[in-house]
């Protein structure tokens, strides 16, 4: 695999909400390299499907909706590559399949690739148009769920003062086509001057919370702090949090929800404290074909990510790391799901599929 070209860039002057983690640029895909934030800002140029698969696996691009958008453009990359290399149709489809399978947990990747693939025979402009439509729809969905989610949190907490919100992992513009899911709800609350403080869980082992969420919050001037994941339950039970808002990678038909590892602990603490635990995700993350969380494939990443920190080993040389990238929060621990279609009250027995009808 040839290495993708990297261009160091100044951090754009635009608000982080307007950043585009995934963007088609003439004949290639341009990604913000999320592995080097917050200290460096650079774009990488992705020109073939092997580079794209590698970028998805290494989390250069990450977050369920963002990898969905990248996967959609992956169909275009396979077509261009196939033309360049003289591939058969089967070889193009095999390359698309490798993109489809690059990460298993977030359903958005498969959904977006499968949505674009039928346009293959209509040619590259049709494929690119469908991928661009996915991006536009995701940004619209994020903005809509931000408003629904903020309205719901205000009504549900019954508080008239600014809220103290806990979030886990990164669900902002970097994780989506733009704006953000759970972070979109927080942006909307902030626009209404209703955020007192955001607790951003650090998100071990790859630090999406401290590297990416704190970067987006800092950039927007939203009051925040980063806490170790292990601090979250105590912060919640001490009464320092009004509600938790998280994203999702796959929501099963019964409401069980896969999200970044550590989310389950947050949900358990919220249930014990009796505060709302809100999941914010577009309907593209709802997978009614998956009956329950038991059927969700949880990505098991290299254990070395856990037993190393900042390039140095933290555990004895022979110690293995255990590194599930996600966990499943049972639907019974989720107060509500907000999508672009509104809020589903899980506590009242509303199920995710009713948003897809
Ligand atoms: O491994 P990551 O960084 O891709 O995990 C991301 C998450 O778990 C997010 O919470 C989820 O994808 C929702 S992003 C809007």
Q: State how many domains the chain has.
A: 2
At 21, list the tokens: 């983690």
Residues in the chain: 357
Do 285 and 92 contact (CB within 8 A), yes or no? Answer: no
Q: 10 Å Cβ neighbour count for 101?
A: 13
19 lines ligand 1 (CB under 6 A): no
Distance in Å, CA 105 to ligand 1 centroid: 10
Distance in Å, CA 174 to ligand 1 centroid: 10
Do residues 308 and 271 share a domain? yes
Supply the pLDDT for residue 77: 98
325 lines ligand 1 (CB under 6 A): yes
Active site residues: 249
Do residues 205 and 117 share a domain? no
At 60, list the tokens: 């250069």
* Span 114-137, pLDDT tens digits: 999 999 999 999 999 999 999 999
Residue with CA closest to ligand 1 atom 6: 63
Q: Which domain holds residue 144?
A: 140-355
201 lines ligand 1 (CB under 6 A): no
> In ligand 1, which atom is closest to the CA atom of 103?
4
Q: 10 Å Cβ neighbour count for 40?
A: 12
Do residues 130 and 147 share a domain? no
Task: Give the whole-angstrom CA distance, residue 331 versus residue 351.
Answer: 9
Q: Which of 137, 166, 196 is the last residue of a domain?
A: 137
Do residues 290 and 195 share a domain? yes
49 lines ligand 1 (CB under 6 A): no
83 membership: H or E segment, kind and range: helix 64-85
DSSP SS3 for 344: strand
Distance in Å, CA 260 to ligand 1 centroid: 6
Query: What Rg value do the Cα atoms of the chain yield, rounded?
Result: 20
Do residues 101 and 187 share a domain? no
DSSP SS3 for 300: strand
Residue 348: give its domain's CATH number.
3.40.50.10470
Distance in Å, CA 234 to ligand 1 centroid: 23
Residue of 67, 71, 109, 249 best suited for mutating to test ligand 1, as the one with most atoms within 8 Å of CB: 249
Per-position pLDDT tens, the chain of length 357: 778 887 777 676 666 777 899 999 999 999 999 999 999 999 999 999 999 999 999 999 999 999 999 999 999 999 999 999 999 999 999 999 999 999 999 999 999 999 999 999 999 999 999 999 999 999 999 999 999 999 999 999 999 999 999 999 999 999 999 999 999 999 999 999 999 999 999 999 999 999 999 999 999 999 999 999 999 999 999 999 999 999 999 999 999 999 999 999 999 999 999 999 999 999 999 999 999 999 999 999 999 999 999 889 999 999 999 999 999 999 999 999 999 999 999 988 888 977 765
Do 226 and 200 contact (CB within 8 A), yes or no? Answer: yes
Do residues 96 and 231 share a domain? no
Do residues 287 and 182 share a domain? yes
For Cα atoms 120, 124, 125, give the angle at the middle one, nearest 5 degrees: 120
Do 153 and 336 contact (CB within 8 A), yes or no? Answer: no
Do residues 177 and 300 share a domain? yes
Do residues 259 and 298 share a domain? yes
* Span 270-300, pLDDT tens digits: 999 999 999 999 999 999 999 999 999 999 9
Residue of 169, 215, 263, 278 best suited for mutating to test ligand 1, as the one with most atoms within 8 Å of CB: 169
Using alpha carbons, select from 139, 323, 346 the residue that is nearest to residue 252: 346
Distance of CA 169 to the CA centre of its chain: 8
> Which residues, 6+ apart, have CB-to-CB distance to 295 below 8 Å?
252
Supply the pLDDT for residue 18: 78
User: Going by DSSP bridges, is the β-strand pair 286-287/250-252 parallel, antiparallel, or unpaired?
Assistant: parallel
Supply the pLDDT for residue 357: 59
141 lines ligand 1 (CB under 6 A): no
275 lines ligand 1 (CB under 6 A): no
Q: Which residue has the tokens 């513009």?
A: 173
Distance in Å, CA 249 to ligand 1 centroid: 6
Residue of 57, 106, 245, 251 best suited for mutating to test ligand 1, as the one with most atoms within 8 Å of CB: 106
Do residues 126 and 150 share a domain? no
Q: How many CA atoms lie within 13 A of 72 on its CB side?
A: 31
Residue 108: give its domain's CATH number.
1.20.120.420
Distance in Å, CA 251 to ligand 1 centroid: 13
285 lines ligand 1 (CB under 6 A): no
Do residues 348 and 249 share a domain? yes
Do residues 175 and 296 share a domain? yes
Q: Which of 115, 137, 159 is the last residue of a domain?
A: 137
247 lines ligand 1 (CB under 6 A): yes
Q: Which of 137, 163, 188 is the last residue of a domain?
A: 137
């Amino acid at each position: 695999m040839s290495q993708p070209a990297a261009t160091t860039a100044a951090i754009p002057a635009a608000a982080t909400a307007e950043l585009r983690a995934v963007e088609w640029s003439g004949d290639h895909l341009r990604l913000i390299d999320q592995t080097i934030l917050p200290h460096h800002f650079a774009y990488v140029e992705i020109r073939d499907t092997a580079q794209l698969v590698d970028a998805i696996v290494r989390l250069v691009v990450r977050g369920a909706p963002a990898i969905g958008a990248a996967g959609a453009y992956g169909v275009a990359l396979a077509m261009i590559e196939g033309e360049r290399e003289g591939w058969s149709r089967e070889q193009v489809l095999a390359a698309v399949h490798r993109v489809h399978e690059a990460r298993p947990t977030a359903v958005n990747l498969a959904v977006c690739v499968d949505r674009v693939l039928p346009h293959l025979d209509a040619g590259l402009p049709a494929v690119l148009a469908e991928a661009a439509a996915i991006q536009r729809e995701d940004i619209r969905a994020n903005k809509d769920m931000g408003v629904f989610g903020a309205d719901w949190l205000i009504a549900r907490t019954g508080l008239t003062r600014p809220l103290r919100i806990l979030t886990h992992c990164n669900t902002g513009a970097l994780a989506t086509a733009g704006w953000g899911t759970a972070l979109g709800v927080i942006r909307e609350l902030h626009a209404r001057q209703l955020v007192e403080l955001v607790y951003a869980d650090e998100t071990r082992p790859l630090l999406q919370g401290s590297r990416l969420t704190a970067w987006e919050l800092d950039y927007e001037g939203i009051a925040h702090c980063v806490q170790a994941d292990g601090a979250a339950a105590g912060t919640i039970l001490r009464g320092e949090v009004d509600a938790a808002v998280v994203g999702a990678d796959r929501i099963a038909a019964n409401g069980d929800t896969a999200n970044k590892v550590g989310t389950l602990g947050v949900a358990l603490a919220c249930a014990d404290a009796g505060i709302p635990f809100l999941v914010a995700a577009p309907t593209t993350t709802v997978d009614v074909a998956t009956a329950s969380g038991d059927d969700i494939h949880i990505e098991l990443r290299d254990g070395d990510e856990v037993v190393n920190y900042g390039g140095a080993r933290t555990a004895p040389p022979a110690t293995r790391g255990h590194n599930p990238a996600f966990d499943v929060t049972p639907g019974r621990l989720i107060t509500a799901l907000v999508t672009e279609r509104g809020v589903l009250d899980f506590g009242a027995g509303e199920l995710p599929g009713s948003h897809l009808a």
